Structure 1
Amino acid sequence: MTLDTREVDEWIAEMTRQGWTHHYFPDREAPIAMASTFWHAGYVDVIQLFDHADAFAYRAPMEQWSGSGADPFKPAAVVWLYGGNPIWTIRATLGLPLPGSAQAPTMPEPPPPMCEVLPGIATKVRAVVIRPNTPSGYSADVVRQVPRNPVER
């Protein structure tokens, strides 16, 4: 997968300006998949990019740092989903009404099978996580310690 087209890069830059966290599998230079997350109160928006033709997004009810072990890439339910080319998928997700607004999606449904693709990739490779700048100005690349296979500890 290459995410080097100018328009996709511009949309990813816009997501970064809005505070999205980006996860590159296995790395930023040659990703086979990329996922971005944005946490709201009680929900997470997730966009997964697999190549220039395939992208998938959803909003899932989930609390950040809930201590429940909730994984934004393994939602128990979704309240909205969209799939298509990366640009339209990003635009549709960024255009979603904020949770809590009258127009925001709230009806939970079981996650579709597509939600299982990224967790499958994550069991084989580690992810590089690019976090947005925080109010304190701190930003860092962090390697998410994901075992290469389920037996590895």
Structure 2
Amino acid sequence: MTLPCERSFATEVSDLGEIDDLLRAVVADGFTVYLCGGQREPEAIVATYTWEDHVDFVVIKDQHDVSAARARLSPDWDVFAPETVVWHYHGHARWALRAILDLPHPDSPGAPDEEHPAPAALLVPGEHLRSVSIRSPRPGLVARRAMRLSLANPA
């Protein structure tokens, strides 16, 4: 009788371990991380990677509410309230984080580049922005994503 609960708990713990590994991969890929709403227990986590003309980003509200996106970079682009995107994925952390990690280099043939309105899931509520901590990538990591994706998707 208790077996289903044990399986459910084990699966949840396993999910958290995999999500942790994927978050580490995003950080190792050179993303800047924004902890919104408090450093110890953030209400949202946003991670960004800036290309020459685009920005890849992830908005994490909980493990089932994660959005990954790419937008064209402009001087007025707002990390917490993007207006348009060229690509977007929303869902469970496992799939959204994998999607952003596997998104092709912006210069790759077939890379998404058609703008459309940004979905509401990418917006970080204003009350979460009263306290924002920023963690920049360690030196040397910023180039890692560009190099990895260039090798994976040669133009």
Asked if 2 retains the 8 angstrom alpha-carbon contact of 1:23 and 1:34, the reply is yes
Structure 2 length as normaliser, TM-score? Answer: 0.74
How far apart, CA to CA, are the structure 2 residues paired with 1:121 and 1:38?
24
Specify the SS of the correspondent of 1:91.
Answer: helix
Instruction: Please report how far the alpha carbon of residue 25 of structure 1 lies from its aligned counterpart in structure 2 after TM superposition.
Output: 1.3
Please say if 1:59 is aligned against 2:92: no
Aligned residue in 1 for 2:4: none
For 1:1-150, list aligned pairs within 5 A: 5-63=16-74, 68-116=75-123, 118-123=124-129, 125-135=130-140
Structure 1 length as normaliser, TM-score? Answer: 0.75
How far apart, CA to CA, are the structure 2 residues paired with 1:93 and 1:79?
13
Please report the RMSD computed on the Cα atoms of aligned residues, expressed in angstroms.
1.8
Aligned partner letter, 1:53: H
Name the CA shift for 1:121/1:44 in 2 (closer, same or farther; >3 Å): farther
Uncovered stretches (5+) of structure 1, i.e. residues with no partner:
136-153
Specify the SS of the correspondent of 1:82.
Answer: strand
Asked if 2 retains the 8 angstrom alpha-carbon contact of 1:62 and 1:72, the reply is no
Asked if 2 retains the 8 angstrom alpha-carbon contact of 1:98 and 1:104, the reply is yes
Larger Rg: 2
Specify the SS of the correspondent of 1:5.
Answer: helix
How far apart, CA to CA, are the structure 2 residues paired with 1:32 and 1:72?
15
Aligned partner letter, 1:130: R
Runs of 4+ in 1 over 6 A off after TM superposition: none
Instruction: Please report how far the alpha carbon of residue 21 of structure 1 lies from its aligned counterpart in structure 2 after TM superposition.
Output: 0.8
Specify the SS of the correspondent of 2:84.
Answer: coil
- Name the structure, 1 or 2, with higher relative contact order (CA <8 Å, separation 6+): 2
Uncovered stretches (5+) of structure 2, i.e. residues with no partner:
1-14, 141-155
Instruction: Please report how far the alpha carbon of residue 74 of structure 1 lies from its aligned counterpart in structure 2 after TM superposition.
Output: 2.3
% same residue? 30
Asked if 2 retains the 8 angstrom alpha-carbon contact of 1:56 and 1:84, the reply is yes
Q: Which structure dedicates a bigger proportion of its chain to helix?
A: 2
